[in-house]
Amino acid sequence: MPLSPHSTATTASMRWLPGLLLATFVIGTDDFIIAGILPELAVDFDVTEAAAGQLVTVFSLVYAVAAPVMALLTARLSRRKLIVGGLTVFALVNAATVFAPSYAALMALRVAAALVGATITPAAFATAGSLAPPERSGRAIGVVAAGLTVSLIVGVPVGSWLGELFGWQSTFALVATLTGAAVIITGTTLPAIPGPPATGLRERLTLLRRPSVLSCVVGTVIGATAGFMPYTFIAPVVTDLTGVERTLIPVTIGVIGVAGAIGTVAGGRLNDRWGPDRTILTLMAVMATTTVLLALAGPLFGGNAPYWLLLTVLAVWGAAVWAYNPPMNARALRLAAEAGTEAVALNTSGLYIGIAVAGALGGAALTTGNGALLLAVSGTVVILGLVFMTWAIRRFPSSAPLNQ
């Protein structure tokens, strides 16, 4: 077996789980924090905020491309060495970012951070799912995924606040410090986990062409596209639908973040109870229903929808959006078996590709219309995704033979 048996005391206690949670938390914070310190970066490096925003674009694109490639290159490494070593490099990169002398240097360091993050995150998901007892694997993946969600509601606001008070350098110093803590925790709690059996590059690339696994990636791209369209442009969406002041936007983001954190854990629990296939279709149905309701709120209320009503629907929507990833990763793990880390890496790439597509589609929708049109486009995407995943699950059920 590629990973250590479930019967070990370390695995049974799952005391390694907080370390993996902290690992995804610091990576998520590092990824999303740029948006919160854009003005400070633009001033210090004498560039426009649009140019500073390219740090986010480059990070996401590098992450999407690097995740499957790094999974292949690091396939033979011990999972413990990979995660602990990767976190060590991640801490050093963020520490170096504090002293970045130029915009070009900062961009290079962001590329390095994306490469390392793309290596660690899929390994953390796959390790959690494989180390946990079978009946708790989905829950373990959900806890690790919650690190990304919590980074949005804790890490990013705190990092932005520090950047405003003490300069953007303090934000990266915080990330470096927390990553150092993750190195210590994972180094002392993760059991020795051998890498997957050695296979050739051609065999690994076969996984990338396996229809069952690629259907997971497509489903992840669709889910991320539909989910991140409203989230990325939540401010114009809320103001267009309700007419409220933008001072309520942080409240909206906070409610969505809390709902998303709950949803991430709930997605793992539902996966353990129902299996990934039923969970995925249920969550997509909830996403479709809530998105359509939000889209209809604009014309129905004429731009004056009750804020409390909108917030309630957004909370349910946010929980479903963030609950979607754990069962998709669990499905990929089941279908890919011995190449689970590589399959999760592909899914991670799909997530970031979906985020990029969401920005493009959402921006186009807002340019030609308003928040209601953006929600209509998002709803259309998720409905098409529900149709696609219904077909994919019937064609490639997660309980099917693992050679499809």
Could you list the pLDDT tens digit for every one of the 404 residues in the chain? 344 444 444 455 678 899 999 999 999 999 877 766 766 788 899 987 657 767 877 887 888 888 778 877 887 788 889 999 999 999 999 999 999 999 999 999 999 999 999 999 888 988 888 888 877 777 888 888 888 878 877 887 788 788 878 989 999 999 999 999 999 999 998 887 766 554 554 655 567 678 888 899 899 999 999 998 888 777 778 888 988 876 677 778 778 878 888 898 888 889 888 999 999 999 999 999 999 999 998 788 887 889 999 999 999 999 999 899 889 988 988 888 767 767 777 787 788 888 778 877 887 787 787 888 989 999 999 999 999 999 999 999 987 544 45
> What CA–CA distance (Å, rounded) separates 71 from 74?
5
CA distances from 280 to 51, 239, 327 (A): 37, 31, 6
pTM (2 decimals)? 0.70
CA distances from 105 to 97, 101, 235, 340 (A): 8, 6, 32, 35
> What CA–CA distance (Å, rounded) separates 228 from 367?
17
CA distances from 395 to 4, 212, 285, 324, 401 (A): 31, 8, 19, 20, 12
Specify the CATH class of 9-189 in words. mainly alpha
Given this model, what pLDDT does residue 13 score?
Answer: 67
Closest by CA to 356, choosing from 148, 133, 63, 138, is 63
Instruction: Tell me the two tokens of residue 45.
Output: 């490096």
| Alpha-helix runs per DSSP H in 132-210 | 137-150, 156-166, 168-189, 201-208
Cβ-contact 312, 268 below 8 angstroms = no
Given this model, what pLDDT does residue 205 score?
Answer: 56
Given this model, what pLDDT does residue 64 score?
Answer: 82
User: Which CATH number fits the domain 204-395, given the four candidates 3.30.9.60, 1.20.1250.20, 1.10.10.10, 3.10.20.600?
Assistant: 1.20.1250.20
Domain with CATH 1.20.1250.20 in the chain: 9-189, 204-395
